[in-house]
């Protein structure tokens, strides 16, 4: 938590120095899905494939130069719970939450009237806030560690005189480490990268 607060403080400090516009948005993340490549293969249900919708809050500091938008931002993706699994299945990721910190690059399409269409790209690092499922049968023989990874997003929006409607495809990378024990002794240690992707719809205000 301390690292998260320090990172957010740095982002906000940079924003205050560079800012021309502040942007605050809130919305909902739909269709959160975890994709896993590597040793887990297609065992998606055990790992945790789909999550309930979750809320999102973002703060950005942007410069507008000749219709080019650039700046920095930070989001808080509120905790979302794993959807119910078929009877007999378990998951090692019961809840997901992320704090992406990123750079923003966008373009405002020139129009003579009406709302201004915008295109956005985001790239940075996503801090992972993870809660394991409390399954005693699993955790007697296995130990899990999670860490964050790369973050990127792209999407479109409309600017109604500084009132914003945005739609984004977003990707958080999650690093997963599993240590397996047998009779108290280390048997195997594995790690893997996973991608958590979702579609975000949000409303906001640019100051």
Residues near 202 by beta carbon (within 8 Å), at least 6 away in sequence: 25, 26, 27, 28, 56, 58, 164, 165, 166, 168
CA distance 20 to 63: 5
* pLDDT of 70: 92
Q: Residue 107: inside a domain, yes or no?
A: yes
Domain count, the chain: 1
For tokens 């009406």, the residue is: 114
pLDDT by residue, tens only, the chain of 207 residues: 555 556 556 655 655 555 578 899 999 998 777 766 544 444 444 444 577 889 999 999 999 989 999 999 999 999 888 776 666 566 667 778 899 999 999 999 999 999 999 999 999 999 988 765 544 444 456 677 788 899 999 999 999 999 999 999 999 988 877 777 676 666 667 777 788 888 999 999 998
pTM summary value:
0.79
Residue 155 belongs to a domain: no
Contact 142, 152 (CB under 8 A): no
Question: 27 in a domain, yes or no?
Answer: yes
pLDDT for position 167: 98
The verdict on residue 148 lying in a domain is no
Q: Mind listing the pLDDT tens digit for each residue in 59-78?
A: 999 999 899 999 999 999 99
Q: Per the domain annotation, does 140 fall within a domain?
A: no
Contact 141, 174 (CB under 8 A): no
As beta bridge partners, residue 124 has 102, 151
- Domain range spanning residue 123? 2-32+49-131+161-175+199-206
Under 8 Å CB-to-CB from 80, ≥6 apart: which residues?
29, 32, 51, 52, 53, 54, 95, 96, 97
In-domain check, residue 41: no
| Within a domain: 77 | yes
């Amino acid at each position: 938590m301390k690292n998260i607060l320090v990172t957010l403080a740095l982002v906000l400090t940079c924003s205050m120095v560079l800012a021309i516009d502040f942007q605050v948005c809130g919305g909902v993340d739909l269709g959160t899905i975890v994709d896993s490549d590597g040793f887990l293969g297609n065992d998606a249900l055990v790992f945790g494939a789909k999550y309930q919708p979750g809320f999102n809050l973002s703060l950005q500091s942007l410069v507008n130069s000749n219709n080019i938008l650039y700046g920095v931002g930070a989001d808080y993706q509120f905790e979302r719970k794993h959807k119910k699994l078929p009877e007999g299945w378990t998951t090692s990721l019961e809840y997901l939450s992320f704090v992406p910190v990123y750079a923003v690059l966008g373009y405002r399409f020139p129009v003579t009237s009406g709302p201004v269409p915008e295109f956005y790209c985001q790239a940075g690092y996503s801090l992972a806030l993870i809660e394991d499922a409390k399954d005693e049968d699993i955790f007697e023989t296995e130990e899990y560690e999670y860490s964050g990874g790369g973050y990127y997003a792209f999407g479109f929006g409309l600017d109604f005189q500084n009132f914003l409607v945005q739609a984004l495809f977003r990707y958080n990378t999650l690093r997963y480490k599993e240590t397996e024990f047998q009779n108290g002794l280390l048997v195997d240690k594995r790690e893997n990268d996973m991608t958590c992707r979702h579609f975000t719809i949000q409303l906001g205000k640019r100051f």
